Amino acid sequence: MSYTLGQLAAKVQGIVKGDANLVIDKLGTLEKATRNELSFLANPKYQSLLEVTSAGAVLVKTEELAKLVNNAIVVSNPYLAFAQLSHIFVPATHNWSGIHQSAVVSLKATLSENVVIAPNVVIDDDVVIAEDCVIGAGCVIGRGVKIGQGSRIYPNVTLYHNVEIGAACIIHSGAVIGADGFGFAPNNGSWEKIDQLGSVVIGDNVEIGASTTIDRGAIENTQIGQGVKIDNQVQIAHNVIIGDNTAIAASTAIAGSTKIGSMCTISGGVCIAGHLELTDKVHITGMSMISNSISEAGSYSSGMGMEPTGKWRRTVARVRRIDDMAKQFAQLKQQVNKFLEKVDK
């Protein structure tokens, strides 16, 4: 679908500089965009690309920047405007409507109007799917699941029994929501399984990445708040609670019964131990190990950043000697104190 530059500007409350009738049919990068593509400048360090870009128009923050290109839309936040406009250029992801003949849908399930059920979907008893939902091919929707209006479930997602998904959610392929949490009681050298009696409740406008797993609660529910964004291959254990609008990057693992506040950002590869509490607006950098609760907002890191291998080996060697060095320092401190006592006398 194509739009004029003026139409796009109206959608993001921007001001056109240049040809408002220029037809835009695609979004692109400053480096590779062509005459009928719209790009954006969000990071000032790429400003030099404005002078060489072939993009038909660019989203920019100021009128001064707009003068560097033939056509522009001036907006207060170009990156946000780009995100908003991306919604209208999304290509169709399915070419069927209604319920595919190969789907297996329980007679006890309730499907609202305009629901799309793709091939080979299985929908169990007492499932409730609201208006305008799309369930991708090969999904399994367990007994008693509820899915809110306008949610999109991509192919091969499994929703275990009694899971609740809010409105306008996106769940990507391979995600498993509501599997048993890792609960076992020791029993004379073996393990007795603890049946997981809770479920998973997910708020509105949540996005869950491919192959991410969210375990059901042991007794109470695992809870994912409104607007939470979860990347691919994230593990969220039983009874975890995640506050509204928190974002979690790929390969993070969160152990059971941990509570994470609202507006937090957790970078890739982070491990968070169980039974902890992180307050609102906590930012965790990549590969960190969180072993204690965090009660003050701010940025937190652990581990060691990259450095040349030779220097890293020397650093590790010194780190391994820290305990001995601390003991030597304590002994030296005692000797100095004794010497100072003699001098005073």
- Domain spanning 104-300: which superfamily? Hexapeptide repeat proteins (2.160.10.10)
Buried b (16+ CB within 10 A) or exposed e, 262-290: bebbbbbbbbbeeebebbebbebbbbbeb
Global confidence as pTM: 0.88
Residue type, 260: I
Q: Could you tell me the sign of the dihedral formed by the alpha carbons of 308, 311, 315, 317, in that order?
A: positive
pLDDT of residue 285: 96
Q: Are 259 and 272 in contact (CB under 8 A)?
A: no
Q: Which own/partner contact pairs does 125-133 have at CB distance under 8 Å and 24+ positions apart?
A: 130/167
- The arithmetic mean of pLDDT across residues 298-310, rounded, is 90
Give the up-direction half-sphere exposure of residue 249: CA atoms within 13 A in the CB hemisphere: 12
pLDDT of residue 68: 94
Indicate the pairing of strand 23-24 with strand 26-27: unpaired
CA-closest candidate to residue 158, choices 144, 148, 171: 171
- How far is 317 from 340, CA to CA, in rounded Å? 34
Give the up-direction half-sphere exposure of residue 307: CA atoms within 13 A in the CB hemisphere: 10
Backbone angles phi, psi at 45, to 5 degrees: -70, -15
Chain segment 311-324, per-residue pLDDT in tens:
989 988 988 999 98
Q: Which fold has domain 3-89?
A: 3.40.1390
Residues known to be catalytic:
238
Percent of the chain with pLDDT over 90: 88
Other beta carbons less than 10 A from residue 334's beta carbon? 10
- Whether the per-residue pLDDT at 345 is higher than 90: the answer is no
Lowest mean pLDDT among 118-127, 154-163, 311-320: 311-320
pLDDT of residue 92: 75
- How far is 291 from 316, CA to CA, in rounded Å? 21
DSSP string, 172-235: -TT-EEEEPP--EEEETTEEEE------EEE-TT-EE-TT-EEEPPSSSPEEE-TT-EE-TT-E
DSSP string, 65-102: HHTTSSSEEE-S-HHHHHHHHHGGGPPP-----SB-TT
Q: Where are the domains of the chain?
A: 3-89, 104-300
- The per-residue pLDDT of the chain, averaged, comes to 95
